[in-house]
């Protein structure tokens, strides 16, 4: 469920929502990383600012989900790795629109409680949304075990426990975003998983075409070759991404 065998081109085709979120995050981070007027405006008007929210700038509950610290490469990297780790299975299982809803809702909930707790006046990052995805998997692990295999349940449980523990140990962590994002993901489980499909890492095969002259055309012949696991460099890269994502969660980097 959490292991990738796709090529990068197939990943974009199979998981367009995740690919779009990653693209938005990276583009916004690059604009803020290199000194320029646009990047400065993105920071000024997009960062989570509790004082701004208090005076009615409510968009700041949403925009921080797509922003990352411009002076920390690890922040955007590990958030991206975590989205690649936990996102694909959910996008396929619950569908594109529900995935967008879960991602935004849990991220907003994390920012709302960040505002009410009031510890971090400035905040940004996708940690609330990412912990929301983790919370949804945690709900599966306990209440919808038909949707998740035993090995994946163990991975989710271990990463969640260690991630929550490191949230309270590591300095500079937005505790409210992590904890309430996780709770929001758990709470959405009964709603968004009612019609969830089982995750399948295989390609959705198209129907074989049989022409009137008796010739057959199999549109999936290249897909079979493409999806053989561990046959190319992309498989190694995916494993590196998975390991780094897990480390980022365990050590509170996201």
pTM given for the model: 0.84
Q: Which two tokens stand for residue 233?
A: 């460099």
Nearest CA to 122 among 182, 169, 52, 41? 52
pLDDT tens digits, one per residue of 59-71: 999 999 999 999 8
What's the rounded Cα separation, in Å, for the pair 56 and 61? 11
Q: Which CATH code of 1.20.1540.10, 1.10.260.40, 3.20.20.80, 2.60.120.1440 fits the domain covering 8-200+208-250?
A: 1.20.1540.10
127 is catalytic: yes
**Catalytic member of 75, 141, 178, 234:** 178
Strands (E), 69-215: 122-123, 209-210
7 is catalytic: no
pLDDT tens digits, one per residue of 98-122: 999 999 999 999 999 999 987 778 9
pLDDT tens digits, one per residue of 137-176: 999 999 999 999 999 999 899 899 988 998 888 888 899 9
Nearest CA to 68 among 80, 58, 57? 80
**Catalytic member of 19, 80, 127, 141:** 127
Examine the pLDDT at 229 and tell me if it is beyond 60: no
Residue pair 80/23 in contact by the 8 Å Cβ criterion: no
What's the rounded Cα separation, in Å, for the pair 224 and 253? 37
What's the whole-number average pLDDT of the chain?
86
């Amino acid at each position: 469920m959490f292991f990738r065998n796709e090529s990068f081109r197939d990943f974009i085709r199979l998981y367009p929502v995740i690919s779009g979120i990653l693209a938005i995050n990276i583009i916004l981070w690059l604009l803020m990383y290199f000194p320029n007027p646009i990047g400065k405006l993105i920071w000024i008007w997009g960062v989570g600012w509790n004082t701004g929210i208090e005076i009615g700038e409510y968009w700041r509950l949403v925009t921080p989900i797509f922003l990352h610290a411009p002076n920390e490469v690890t922040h955007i990297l590990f958030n991206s790795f975590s989205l690649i780790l936990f996102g694909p299975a959910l996008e396929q299982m619950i569908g594109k629109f529900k995935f967008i809803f879960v991602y935004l809702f849990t991220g907003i909930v994390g920012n709302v409680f960040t505002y009410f707790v009031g510890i971090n006046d400035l905040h940004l990052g996708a940690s609330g949304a990412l912990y929301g995805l983790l919370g949804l998997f945690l709900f599966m692990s306990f209440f919808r075990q038909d949707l998740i295999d035993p090995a994946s349940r163990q991975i989710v449980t271990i990463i969640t426990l260690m991630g929550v523990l490191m949230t309270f140990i590591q300095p500079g962590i937005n505790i409210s975003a992590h904890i309430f994002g996780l709770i929001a993901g758990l709470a959405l489980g009964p709603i968004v998983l009612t019609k969830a499909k089982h995750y399948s890492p295989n390609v959705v095969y198209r129907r074989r075409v049989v022409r009137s002259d008796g010739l057959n055309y199999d549109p999936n012949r290249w897909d079979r070759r493409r999806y053989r696991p561990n046959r190319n460099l992309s498989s190694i890269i995916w494993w590196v991404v998975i390991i780094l994502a897990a480390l980022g969660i365990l050590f509170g980097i996201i």
